[in-house]
Amino acid sequence: MRPTALVLDWGGVLTPPFRACLTGWARREAVDLDGFLAVLASHLGAAATVPAERNPFQAVECGQLPVAEFELALAGLLPADRPVAADGLLGRMFADFTLVEPMVEVVRRARAAGVPTALLSNSWGQPYPEAVLAELFDATVFSCAAGVRKPDPAAYLLAARLLGTEPAQCLFVDDIRSNVAGAEAVGMTGLWHRDPAETIPAIADRLGLPGEPPR
């Protein structure tokens, strides 16, 4: 069955990869980026070693930890050459997250073709561009507000429900393979994003989108 709805992740899918977006911030705040990514790996993902009860990343993503408290915890975990100010940390960290315009354009094409679209993001409470969200998505699910994070089945089911569709009708796109597997486990068609040059035609083909409009 061809999918009739589109659900996407934000960071690393509609933006450049996480590491690339954080490079400037890490330089400005004297943070060891490799060390920070190692901290993330120990807290998030299939190989996480920090248990949930002591894990501020999972807590904020599930809405169990206020943003200000998470920023304080995060500042204390950063491997940096000097202290990093906790106040406003997320705003500074995500300041360089730009959009990948070809990926944005394929979402526009989908929505223009009548395909319902949703954003499903594991969020730390960082700011998102409201105008872009309104343009691209019929529904948005931020884990910190919804109280559930990928790859919990409830996250995918919520996105489908908000679109008024069944999971089997949804094409789900994410740059983290375990999140794609979680979507497939509830019946969605999964697409692991690695390169826009591969992902964009795959989205168009699986949704049966008309050709790119002339410019």
Interval 142-195: pLDDT, tens? 999 999 999 999 999 999 999 999 999 999 999 999 999 999 999 999 999 999
Residue closest to 57 by CA, chosen among 69, 133, 115: 69
Cα Dmax for the chain: 54
CB atoms within 10 A of CB 198: 12
Residue 212, pLDDT score: 58
Residue that has been written with the tokens 């992740």 in this structure: 9
Confidence at 1, pLDDT banded by 50, 70, 90: confident
Average pLDDT over residues 126-141: 96
Peptide bond connecting 151 to the previous residue in cis, omega within 30 degrees of 0: yes
Taking only the tens place, the pLDDT of each residue in 8-29 is 999 999 999 999 999 999 999 9
Phi-psi bin for 53: left (phi > 0), alpha (psi -120 to 50), beta?
alpha
Structure tokens at 130: 């409201």
Residue 213, pLDDT score: 46
Domains of the chain as residue ranges with CATH: 5-16+97-207 (3.40.50.1000), 18-93 (1.10.150)
pTM: 0.93
Taking only the tens place, the pLDDT of each residue in 58-113 is 999 999 999 999 999 999 999 999 999 999 999 999 999 999 999 999 999 999 99
Residue closest to 30 by CA, chosen among 88, 71, 94, 84: 84
Residue 47, pLDDT score: 77
Taking only the tens place, the pLDDT of each residue in 190-209 is 999 999 999 999 999 999 99
Provide the CB-side half-sphere exposure for 206 (13 A, CA).
21
